[in-house]
Structure 1
Amino acid sequence: MILVTGGTGTLGRKVVRGLLDAGRDVRVLSRSDKAPYDGVQVVVGDLETGEGVDKVVHGVETIVHCAGSAKGDDEKAKSLIAAAVPAGVRHLVNISVVGADTLPVVSGLDRKMFGYFAAKRGAELIIERSGIPWTNLRATQFHELTFTVAEQLAKLPVVPAPSGFKIQPVDAAAVAERLVELAQKAPQGQVDDIAGPRTYTFKEMVKVYLRAAGKRRMMLPMHTPGKAAAAYRAGANLSPGRGTGRTWEDFVNASLAR
């Protein structure tokens, strides 16, 4: 049995579908009892509180940990590990973010803007130290969230553009395919990053969306202070040479055509 946490989310649904197509028995941890697909076993549990997680992991050999949010991913990992260790889980596949181990998140503005990376790194360390054999895959930012950001910014009369920030967005479908592959292999520890095929400045990323949507907006360059922002400008969130999947342009055009 393979458990997918976050199995009803953007990435998790794709992982669940891929595992089902591979003929695997799949269970989903969810805060509701609604299954993302037929043939999936759903067990209600909450990683934020730890409630019901012991029942969710019972009888599970492999976990694909896709449950994530803007904050608190380290606490979710604690809840999962607390239940997975006594349950005898044999392999935990974790999805993290490129930059989790390199972005220097400290306090103040840095923590407010980049605390997500610190939480992801915290989750990685909790899993690594758990005693459960593990595989960790770091991905760059998903097209889906990048699209949401661009869509919201396009509603503004003037779009703020952090100077020097670059992104290498990746299709969640490509990430899901890799996770499905890793879940069916022996634990591998830290594996190569996965990233999109092209790198864009923040300004270029938004302009791709604006052109496809037929909109025009003024862009306002802005400098973001702090050590983490400096590391971001230096490319700590990028993974050159690891590109795969659809380009940002192709994803935007396909999304707007729906």
Structure 2
Amino acid sequence: MSTILVTGGTGTLGRLVTERLRADGHEVRVLSRHTRPYAVDLREGTGLDAAVTGADVIVHCATTLRGGDERAAKNLIAAARKAGVAHLVYISIVGIDRVPLGYYKTKLAVERLIEESGLGWTVLRTTQFHDLVLRIMEASAKLPVMLLPGGVSDQPIEVGEVAARLAQLAAGPPAGRAEDMGGPEVRTFPDLARAYLRASGKRRRVLPVRLAGRTYRAARAGGHLTPERAVGKGTFEEYLAARSSGARR
């Protein structure tokens, strides 16, 4: 079995990837800013060489909305080259080349760094996780009226399914751009909001709102969706039910 380093290994996705790889018999190193023995801030790179040395594969799940992902990727790639890592696996997002969102532009730049790194690489793009949609709904439901982007749909996917696919890719040879993964259903935001309201028992009016700008137009056009790759199984309702059941235990 391989020695696999998972960056962001304590996060929503990274934790599940780590669990899956260990269950499959791999030796897994968890890298995060506060988890020893591999407590590393990728943006600074201090201690990164020690974490990477001896690793066969890196699964790069670490990311932040606060900036610095490109710098972190450059540091990780340099350390991987130095250590002779055979395979770098990166989790990305469907539509980063079609929706001009700042964070998406950063993810696309990281993809290009990895593709040009000289390392064996695999990039997996997926649609948004269920928990992100839930956070949007919870934030919107703080008001008496849920204001949601009109004409925009989403295709949420179960994070555990993505973790399983990443673990599978990490155990195999470099695949380049892997086939995208989308959730099982393309749903409008009002439809997802009604599912959230039913599950939470809340009463809110749902109001679609038309927005302006290139990002909104790209989202309305479905640039972040992949209906032809609706390979996910778990629905948003099933996610909400499982979350509610877990909270009651």
Q: Do these two structures clear the TM 0.5 threshold for a shared fold by scoring above it?
A: yes
- Asked whether 1:183 is paired with 2:170, we answer yes
Seen in structure 2, the aligned counterparts of structure 1 residues 71 and 125 have a Cα distance that, compared at 3 Å, is farther
* Alpha-carbon offset, residue 49 of structure 1: 1.9
3-state SS of the aligned residue for 1:238? coil
Q: Does 1:217 align with 2:207?
A: no
> Do residues 249 (structure 1) and 244 (structure 2) align?
no
Q: Partner of 1:89 in structure 2?
A: 85
Query: What is the CA–CA distance in structure 2 between the aligned matches of 1:66 and 1:227, rounded to whole Å?
Result: 28
Q: How does the TM-score come out when normalised to structure 2?
A: 0.93
Shift in Å, 1:219: 2.1
The residue matched to 2:228 in structure 1 has which SS? coil
Matched to 1:12, the amino acid is: G
Secondary structure, in 3 states, of the residue corresponding to 1:159? Answer: strand
Match of 1:76 in 2: 72
Identity of aligned residues (%): 47
CA contact (8 A) 2:180 2:229 kept: yes
Structure 1, unaligned runs of 5 or more: 35-41, 106-113
CA deviations 1:142-174 (Å, max 9, x no partner) are 012211221222222121111111100000000
Q: 2:56 aligns with which of 53, 61, 64?
A: 61
What per-residue deviation string (whole Å, max 9, x for no partner) do you get for residues 88-144 of structure 1?
1110010000011222x2xxxxxxxx2111111011011111111100000100012
CA-to-partner distance for each residue in 1:210-234, whole Å, 9 max, x for gaps?
1111111122322221222211111
Q: Provide the C-alpha distance between the structure 1 equivalents of 2:12 and 2:141, rounded to a whole number of angstroms.
A: 22
RMSD: 1.3
Task: After TM superposition, list the pairs within 5 Å mapping 1:154-173 onto structure 2.
Answer: 154-173=141-160
**Equivalent position of 2:181 in the other structure:** 194
The alpha-carbon deviation at position 256 of structure 1 amounts to 2.0
SS of 1:185's equivalent in the other structure is: coil
Equivalent residues of 1:166, 1:233 under 8 A apart = yes
Aligned residue number for residue 99 of structure 1: 95
Kept in 1, the 8 Å contact 2:58–2:88? The answer is yes
Question: Equivalent residue for 1:111?
Answer: none
Write out the 4+ residue segments of structure 1 that deviate beyond 6 Å after TM superposition. none
Amino acid at match of 1:78: K
SS of alignment partner, residue 100 of structure 1: coil
Question: Where does structure 2 lack aligned partners over 5 or more consecutive residues?
Answer: none
Provide the C-alpha distance between the structure 2 equivalents of 1:199 and 1:59, rounded to a whole number of angstroms: 42
Q: What is residue 38 of structure 1 aligned with on the other side?
A: none
